[in-house]
């Protein structure tokens, strides 16, 4: 087995991309929380890193598609709880109303592919708002959206800068296979 096939088989480039994206997202989340005074820098780092992980796919095209789904899901999952929790407070019954509303909204606008990510974002907003009841729901919602966008951007930039490496490996594997 040649080196290109080993690199491909073990997903070494993907491992490199994932490592870089996770490290940068973690650091960006902490920096974002400090700069914008979002509260817990570890929650910001976690959410930014989760976004990076969720968007990273095995191909560039899949990563782009996943990134757009994540953006839409994060937007829905940030805006709906912002309105509902601002008006009704953040109790368990309000959380259920929020989940119910997101499912209806995503279904109505044919965005069911964004539903899980929207619910995930809304759930994190709910949990964070119950951990620190003195926190501002606007700050919590906006911070989760910004952290998601950061993680998405970092992953897509990481993938963009490694496209040529993927192409080089694929071309060499094809060349070796043709010469057999």
> Cα 101–106–111 angle (5° rounding)?
170
pLDDT at 10: 82
pLDDT surpasses 90 at 157:
yes
pLDDT at 29: 97
Instruction: Specify the higher pLDDT residue, 43 or 175.
Output: 43
SS3 label, residue 157: helix
Pull the structure tokens for residue 165.
């490496």
pLDDT surpasses 90 at 175:
no
CB-CB contact of 115 with 102 (8 Å): yes
Report the share of the chain in percent with pLDDT over 70: 99
pLDDT at 53: 96
| Residue-range definition of the domain harbouring residue 1 | 1-177
Tell me the pLDDT tens digit for each residue of 46-64.
Answer: 999 999 999 999 888 999 9
Report the share of the chain in percent with pLDDT over 90: 74
Tell me the pLDDT tens digit for each residue of 66-122.
Answer: 999 999 999 999 999 999 999 999 899 999 999 999 999 999 999 999 999 999 999
pLDDT at 1: 65
Question: What is the overall mean pLDDT for the chain?
Answer: 92
Following DSSP, what letter does each residue of 96-151 receive, concatenated? HHHHHHHHHHHHHTT-GGGHHHHHHHHHHHHHHHHH-TTS-HHHHHHHHHHHHHHH
CB-CB contact of 92 with 129 (8 Å): no
Q: How many domains does the chain have?
A: 1
């Amino acid at each position: 087995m040649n080196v290109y096939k080993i690199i491909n088989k073990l997903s070494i480039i993907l491992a490199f991309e994932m490592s870089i994206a996770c490290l940068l997202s973690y650091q960006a989340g902490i920096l974002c929380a400090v700069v914008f005074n979002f509260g817990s820098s570890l929650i910001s780092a976690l959410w930014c890193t989760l976004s990076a992980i969720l968007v990273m796919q095995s191909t560039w095209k899949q990563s782009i598609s996943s990134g757009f789904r994540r953006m839409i899901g994060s937007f829905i999952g940030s805006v709906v709880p912002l309105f509902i929790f601002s008006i009704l407070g953040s109790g368990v019954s309000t959380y259920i109303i929020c989940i119910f509303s997101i499912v209806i909204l995503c279904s109505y606008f044919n965005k069911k592919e964004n539903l899980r990510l929207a619910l995930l974002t809304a759930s994190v907003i709910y949990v964070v708002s119950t951990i620190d009841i003195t926190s501002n729901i606007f700050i919590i919602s906006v911070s989760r959206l910004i952290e998601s966008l950061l993680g998405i951007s970092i992953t897509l930039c990481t993938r963009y800068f490694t496209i040529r490496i993927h192409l080089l490996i694929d071309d060499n594997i094809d060349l070796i296979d043709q010469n057999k």
